[in-house]
Amino acid sequence: MKKLRLNKYLFLAFTFLLLQQLQVAAQSDSTPAKKIIKLHYFNVNNSMQYLLLESTLKRGKVFSPQQRKAYALYLDSSTAGNLIAQLLTDENGKAKAFVPIALKAAWDATPQHTFILKEGDDEVISDYSISKAKISLDTANTDGARSIVVSVMKMDKGQWQPAKDVEMKIGVERQGSILSAGDAATYTTDSSGTVSAEYKKDKLPGDGSGNIILVAKAEDNDVFGNLVIEKKVAWGVVTKVNTTFFDQRTLWSTRFRTPYWLLLMAYSIVIGVWGAIIYLVVQLVKIKKLSKEPNALP
């Protein structure tokens, strides 16, 4: 009796949870989707500048990319002469655009620019502004202590001026991310537009020559966008790849270096299977011949 009562309570609890999930799913389906469109400006090594568009739909807590959506991107004003590019989002809801050579004069004319994004005749972004900036990275060695020195300059009144209070990551490029050079996660420039980060990541593996890539990156800065600078230095440990074991007969070698015991096992199985099949076929042929001979069977 107690077992039946327990099963009843469990069934009621399961039914209640199932109804709750169905109610949440129904509410999320009825919730109107909200468009979220973002622009990101990138300046990489002071030589490559581009804009990245992200277009997503938010329904409840679920984000989904808007694929194959067309947009028009303009510089400072939405006129035909200031068109940067016609964009079409990919399967991730993203599209990239470079400022064309035809707009170089307009780009050089002012230290600040506003990017305008239109979907059809509607302006979906009209206030995304960035100021021109450049970033440099250098190294220093004082009494055996290595450090990374980064400077950020901004264009102001036709001259490059120090940019203070710019927060950035400084460190070593590692698998698509930045391993901080020291103990701090981020560093901020001072009134001279400079910040120094002590390098504490000794004995990091480098390439065949011991080179690693130092990186300084300001991410989604409200004034300058994304600034990235890279520099290759020989601060890593030389990585030597041992390829001799590929010439040995191991499980991870090529097929021409298969271990003998594995070859023996594989060929034994093949010979055993085919031997049994051939033996059975021979016996069937003999039985068929015997059945055709008179007085062959008692």
4 is a domain residue: no
**What are the residues facing 44 on neighbouring strands?**
48, 228
Q: Is the pLDDT of residue 3 over 60?
A: no
- 255 shares its domain with 216: no
Q: Which of 71, 96, 131 is the last residue of a domain?
A: 131
Mean pLDDT in residue range 78-85: 93
The parent domain of residue 274 ranges over 242-298
Cβ–Cβ under 8 Å, residues 194 and 162 = yes
pLDDT, tens only, 185-230: 999 999 999 999 999 988 888 888 889 999 999 999 999 999 999 9
Residues, the chain, total? 298
For 59-76, letters b (16+ CB in 10 Å) and e give eeeeeeebeebebbbbbb
- 137 shares its domain with 226: yes
- 47 shares its domain with 98: yes
Q: If 0-12 CB within 10 Å is exposed, 13-18 middle and 19+ buried, where does residue 274 land?
A: exposed
What's the domain count of the chain? 3
The Cα 166–Cα 94 span in angstroms is 27
- 218 shares its domain with 137: yes
Q: Which of 131, 163, 196 is the last residue of a domain?
A: 131
Identify the band that residue 146 occupies on the pLDDT scale cut at 50, 70 and 90.
Answer: very high
pLDDT, tens only, 8-61: 666 666 676 766 766 655 555 556 778 899 999 999 999 888 999 999 998 878
Q: Which of 131, 157, 174 is the last residue of a domain?
A: 131
Give the mean pLDDT of the chain: 86
271 is a domain residue: yes
25 is a domain residue: no
From the CB of residue 38, how many other CB atoms can be counted at a distance below 10 Å? 14
Strands 225-233 and 34-44, bridge-based pairing: parallel
Q: If 0-12 CB within 10 Å is exposed, 13-18 middle and 19+ buried, where does residue 231 land?
A: middle
- 109 shares its domain with 45: yes
247 is a domain residue: yes
